[in-house]
């Protein structure tokens, strides 16, 4: 899929594992998108790096109960955004995530920017 990045954010997300961190990032991404008040002509695409987090978003039955409230917030945000499409990154993963991790991005406060 080809697209245009409209926002970027980085910061600490408190989670027990990569999947929970990714779900937290989805919530933040939707919040940023809503704050931008940008209305896409097509869909908002959110790409996942892990199959588990992707599966949690597309299949309500397998979601962990401990993240129930987070998913309620995500679903509310999705209703505000409109058409949201989840996709799974190829096996090489998301290059931006890897680049930020290698650069040692370590923020205690969340950084958000959009254009």
Q: Exposed, middle or buried, 48 (CB in 10 Å: 0-12/13-18/19+)?
A: buried
Convert the pLDDT of each residue in 86-109 to its tens digit: 988 876 555 555 555 544 455 555
- Cβ atoms 58, 50 nearer than 8 A: no
Q: What pairing do the DSSP bridges indicate for beta strands 84-88 and 111-114?
A: unpaired
Convert the pLDDT of each residue in 41-77 to its tens digit: 778 888 888 899 999 999 999 999 999 999 999 999 9
Domain 7-114: top CATH class: alpha beta
pLDDT of residue 15: 73
Give the number of other Cβ atoms within 10 Å of residue 55's Cβ: 16
Domain spans in the chain, listed from the N-terminal domain onward? 7-114
| Residue (of 60, 59, 65, 54) closest to 23 by Cα position | 54
**What is this structure's pTM?**
0.72
């Amino acid at each position: 899929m080809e697209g245009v990045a409209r926002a970027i954010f980085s910061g600490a997300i408190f989670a027990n594992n990569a999947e929970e961190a990714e779900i937290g990032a989805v919530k933040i991404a939707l919040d940023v998108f809503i704050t931008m008040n940008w209305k896409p002509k097509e869909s908002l695409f959110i790409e996942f790096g892990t199959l588990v987090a992707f599966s949690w978003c597309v299949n309500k039955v397998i979601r962990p109960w401990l993240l129930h409230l987070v998913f309620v917030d995500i679903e509310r945000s999705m209703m505000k955004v409109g058409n949201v499409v989840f996709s799974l990154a190829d096996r090489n993963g998301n290059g931006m995530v890897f680049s930020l991790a290698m650069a040692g991005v370590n923020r205690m406060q969340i950084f958000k920017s959009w254009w």
